Amino acid sequence: MASSTTGEKKILTLKGGDNEEFILEESLVLQSELLKNMVKEERVSSIPLPSIKSKTLVKIIEYLKKHAELTPSNKEEFKNFEKEFVNVVLEELLDITVAVNYLKINGLLEFCCQAVADRIKDKSVEAVRKIFRIESDFTPEEESEFRKETPEAFEGDLDDTTN
Amino acid sequence: MLPKPNLSMSSPIDCFERLPDSLVLRIFDTIGDAKALGICCVVCTRFRSLVPEAGFFVWQRELPRKYLDHEDLWNDDDFLPDPFFKEYRDEFRKIYSRYFRQIIQSHGFDIDVYPGNAKAAFYVPYLDFEREVDMLMELATYAIEEFNKTSVYKYKVIKIETVNFMLSRYREFFMTVKVENLTLRTPWATFRIRARKGFHGEKIVSFCRPKV
């Protein structure tokens, strides 16, 4: 972690997609490789992030704060927080994952990818399509061939209960 | 922003559309389950084109178990380092049993036999890894730095002890490394790291844990 020599905490402003501003300590954003480079190399104090919705940014900042407070004694609490963090509707989870990927917050990215992967696992093809609203773009011939080749992929209960 | 109240089926918005290929690949990598990846293969054309990239590793990783359980899958072409070794087939079977068992038990990290340069022997003990020690150190250091970010204790790589790699379209390395616990200053600990370099030279860590 970069220690400020002046003893004074540096302040940084992040601007979300809807122009909402978030003012936070610079040390918090150093977990993001992208922001870290911007802060270190360009010495900026305000960073526009037009592709990230404010709602998503709020969530990510919440994570950064919690993560910064991580100590041996509250490890369990942090784990629970992480679990709750990804326990959101799919749309929101993907918003966060895309933003975290862009910001390059590696630990959190791994966790988000796992959360998305968990929503794909143990589902039938139809369920995955329904959950992620993917339309099959195979030809009817291909589709029927897959059904013949791997009938088990199309079987099983249509578990699409995940948000 | 609120989710749209009516998710009418007439206008499906593909949730994955805004995810770049690299991110989808990362998610597939995390799935780590051949059956689930098989299902992804028949979801849509984009998934189908991306799955082999991630799935190859998963499929290959499950091969030792499959071979061990089904000896009828063993064939001379894939298993013998040289066709002239046919008369030693039984000897090779013994070596392979031990080899696959070690791979499964140690998750690819500890192998003390190697059948030789054959297609089925794709976990390779890298005895002269010193040749590439700089690149391996870079991977190991990166893995530990990433581990530190979510760990209470901070570690630093001291040295690489052993390296195996899985021969595939790229090499995935299985490293056993000695690390120093910078927080507690306790004696060196042992970590196991599985990592590789991606398409564009990016470092991809799929496993990094203290050895128990």
Spans of all domains in chain B? 15-122, 129-210
- The mean pLDDT value for B97-108 works out to 92
Cα dihedral: A115, B23, A59, B146 (round 10): 80
Q: What is the pLDDT at residue B179?
A: 96
Residue owning tokens 């794709």: B122
- Give the list of residues 6+ apart from residue B163 with CB closer than 8 angstroms, or none: B125, B126, B129, B136, B173, B174, B175, B176
Spans of all domains in chain A? 11-120, 125-154
- What does the block give as tokens for A56? 């998503």
Q: What is the pLDDT at residue A97?
A: 96
Residues of A in contact with B27 (CB under 8 A): 113, 116-117, 120
Cβ distance A121 to B152 less than 8 Å, yes or no, reads: no
Cβ distance A153 to B23 less than 8 Å, yes or no, reads: no
Coil, strand or helix: which one is A86? coil
The pLDDT tens digits of the residues spanning B104-138 come to: 999 899 999 999 988 889 899 999 999 999 999 99
Instruction: Give the distance from residue A161's alpha carbon to the nearest chain B alpha carbon, in angstroms.
Output: 15
Q: What share of chain B is helix, strand, coil (3-state, %, to 5)?
A: 45, 20, 35
* Burial profile A6-21: b = 16 or more Cβ within 10 angstroms, e = fewer: eeeeeebebbbbeeee
Taking the alpha carbons at both ends of chain B, their separation in whole angstroms is 46
CATH class of residue range B129-210: alpha beta
Strands, E assignment, B26-132 = 123-125
- The mean pLDDT value for A139-157 works out to 82
ipTM, two decimals, is: 0.85
Q: Does B10 touch chain A (CB under 8 A)?
A: no
Confidence of residue A20 (pLDDT cuts 50, 70, 90): very high
pLDDT at A4 over 50: no
| A53, closest residue in chain B (CA to CA) | B1
Q: Which fold has domain A11-120?
A: Potassium Channel Kv1.1; Chain A (3.30.710)
- Give the list of residues 6+ apart from residue B63 with CB closer than 8 angstroms, or none: B120, B122
Distance CA(B2)–CA(A100), nearest Å, equals 20
CB atoms < 10 A from the CB of A113, how many?
A: 22
| SS3 readout for A19-76 | CCEEEEEHHHHCCCHHHHHHHHHHCCCEEECCCCCHHHHHHHHHHHHHHHCCCHHHHH
Higher pLDDT, B84 or A63: A63
**A-to-B residue pairs, Cβ atoms closer than 8 angstroms:** 100
Instruction: Give the distance from residue A64's alpha carbon to the nearest chain B alpha carbon, in angstroms.
Output: 11
Q: What is the pLDDT at residue A3?
A: 43
- The mean predicted confidence, pLDDT, of chain A is 86
Residue B104 phi/psi, 5-degree rounding, is -65, -45
Instruction: Give the distance from residue A44's alpha carbon to the nearest chain B alpha carbon, in angstroms.
Output: 24
